Amino acid sequence: MKRILYIVLITCVIIFITSINPFDVFVHKKFDTDIEQITTRGSLIVSTSKNSSDYFLFKGEPKGFQLEILEDLGNYLGLKVEVLVSEDPSENIENLRTGKCDMIASSWNLSSSISDFAVNSIPLFKTDLVLVQRKECNNRPNSVSRNFVHNLNELMGKTVYVPVMTKQADIMEHFNENFHKQIHVIEIPQYSQEKLVELVADESVEYTICNGILADSYKINYPALDFSTIINSGEPVSWVFRKTSPKLVQKVNSWLSNYENSTRFAMLYDKYFNQQNKWAITVNRYQIIKEGRISAYDDLLKKYSTTINWDWRLLASLIYQESRFNPFVKSYRGAYGLMQMMPSTREYLGIDTTASPEKQIKAGVQYIKFLDKEFSDKIPDPNERINFILASYNIGPGHILDAQYLAGKFGKNPKKWFKNVDTCLLSKSNPKQYNDSFVQFGYCSGLETYNFVREIINRYHHYKNVVAEK
């Protein structure tokens, strides 16, 4: 009898739980983060798309139409912008729905099905949605495919693959409601728009639908594809927010309404969408995304980073900061090569300016290993120690040890870099501090090192977003 009552009780609980609209819980009880909470946090968390226009790497530097606008927005708000990246629009939506991000910023035309918990910004721009199909049939040059489609009606009886949770899927569903599902529509999860275009190019699928503003860059990489058939015109591309962030939406919309009319916005739009004659740049940035590489030295970085237990992408960020991956660059102070080692350091490590890129990387890693040993007892947390190693790589360990002493003096944590030792390093430009009897290495401005560590770590996070670890 007790067992039956228990089962009945559990069943009632399950019925009650499943009867609740999950978005009601989401909207009213969780993730009500608005501009006040974001400002207190100090960062705006944005989910975006990794593709050849929104967010990518170009010559080792994170770039993209959405990224550059977000950086301008961050400067306006006085906030750091943290980026989450996915090639799957449904993952971006889930990041917003579950509170992992504050907004979505991409050139995807997202599905209207999220309107119960999400709201759009004013449009950044409008674009057509176009059909992607092959120009040729049976590899015969200059021949048009027998299945070539000129308008939406000609898609009846054919199969179209679209990304899940996008406007493309909405339009196909609406069309099928009016025409008795005569088009076979397959929504593909975990596939980017570019991946589906690639599948059309290699003849794995016959048709997909893509954003017309991005189609111009695809034309360069896929000359055998046709993008001329317009499926829907004037689709707005907007940022997306939770409805529980009305003040954030209002503030961003107010900024966007002025920003969209600025010379800066026009320049960015032209840079990423109108200057498609820059063939080499477009192909290069697409190949970086497709192949997952940062530099010509990725294999060497993977090889030598293991000897110091570093993620190779962190080592890549350090090298980019030092030399922009130029093995022959020389600074006015005499630092040379990929890792910008000074003459005394090069001599100590047994290399000179004739050293190959591999020997330069190997020597630089040896120096990092030396710095790691210097701080292994002082900073037991290996992740935290990386910040101290980077700072020491830039200015030498002596000034960092002084800054640790000052951190203790000022009541800060001498084993934490950000907002602790880094700010104390800046104080070494103050005579009162660098003349302290316990400060051994005297004056330094500290600003270059302060920015050096931040920029490397920030770029490292971008590299992790765009390029796989393996």
pLDDT digits (tens, 9 = 90+) for 191-207: 878 889 999 999 899 99
Rounded to an integer, what distance in angstroms lies between the CA atom of residue 324 and that of residue 201? Answer: 34
pLDDT greater at residue 415 or residue 54: 415
Per residue in 165-181, pLDDT (tens digit) is 888 889 888 888 877 76
H or E element in which residue 119 lies: strand 118-120
Q: How confident is the model at residue 282 (pLDDT cuts 50, 70, 90)?
A: low
Give CA torsion, residues 83, 85, 91, 95, to 10 deg.
-10
pLDDT greater at residue 153 or residue 21: 153
Q: Is pLDDT at 255 greater than 60 in this prediction?
A: yes
Rounded to an integer, what distance in angstroms lies between the CA atom of residue 11 and that of residue 134? Answer: 54
Per residue in 295-344, pLDDT (tens digit) is 999 999 999 999 999 999 999 999 999 999 999 999 988 999 999 999 99
Per residue in 336-371, pLDDT (tens digit) is 999 999 999 999 899 999 999 999 999 999 999 999
According to the model, what pLDDT value does residue 453 have?
97
Q: For the chain, what percent of residues have pLDDT higher than 70?
A: 87
Chain Cα centroid distance, residue 165: 20
**Tokens in use for 446?**
């500290």
**Tokens in use for 405?**
């002493």
Rounded to an integer, what distance in angstroms lies between the CA atom of residue 174 and that of residue 194? Answer: 24
Q: How confident is the model at residue 93 (pLDDT cuts 50, 70, 90)?
A: very high
Q: In this structure, are strands 230-237 and 125-134 parallel, antiparallel, or unpaired?
A: antiparallel
**Tokens in use for 249?**
């939406």
CA-based R_g, the chain, Å: 27
Q: Is pLDDT at 290 greater than 50 in this prediction?
A: yes
Residue labelled with tokens 């019925």:
15
Residues with Cβ < 8 Å from 35, sequence gap 6 or more? 245, 247, 248, 251
pLDDT greater at residue 289 or residue 279: 289
Do the Cβ atoms of 232 and 129 come closer than 8 Å? yes
Go through the domains of the chain in sequence order and give each one's CATH number: 22-120+243-271 (3.40.190.10), 125-237 (3.40.190.10), 298-466 (1.10.530.10)
Q: Is pLDDT at 442 greater than 90 in this prediction?
A: yes
- Please give the span between the terminal C-alpha atoms of the chain, in angstroms, as a whole number: 57
Q: Is pLDDT at 3 greater than 60 in this prediction?
A: no
According to the model, what pLDDT value does residue 191 have?
80
According to the model, what pLDDT value does residue 94 have?
93
Residue 34 burial (CB count, 10 A):
18
Give CA torsion, residues 457, 460, 462, 465, to 10 deg.
-130
Q: For the chain, what percent of residues have pLDDT higher than 90?
A: 64
Claim: this prediction has a pTM higher than 0.75: yes
Q: Is pLDDT at 8 greater than 50 in this prediction?
A: no
Average pLDDT over residues 253-272: 94
Q: Is pLDDT at 143 greater than 60 in this prediction?
A: no
Q: Residues 136, 181, 236, 108: is their CA dihedral positive or negative?
A: negative
pLDDT greater at residue 375 or residue 165: 375
pLDDT greater at residue 96 or residue 276: 96
Q: What is the mean pLDDT of the chain?
A: 86
Range among 43-52, 326-335, 389-398 with highest mean pLDDT value: 389-398
According to the model, what pLDDT value does residue 24 have?
38
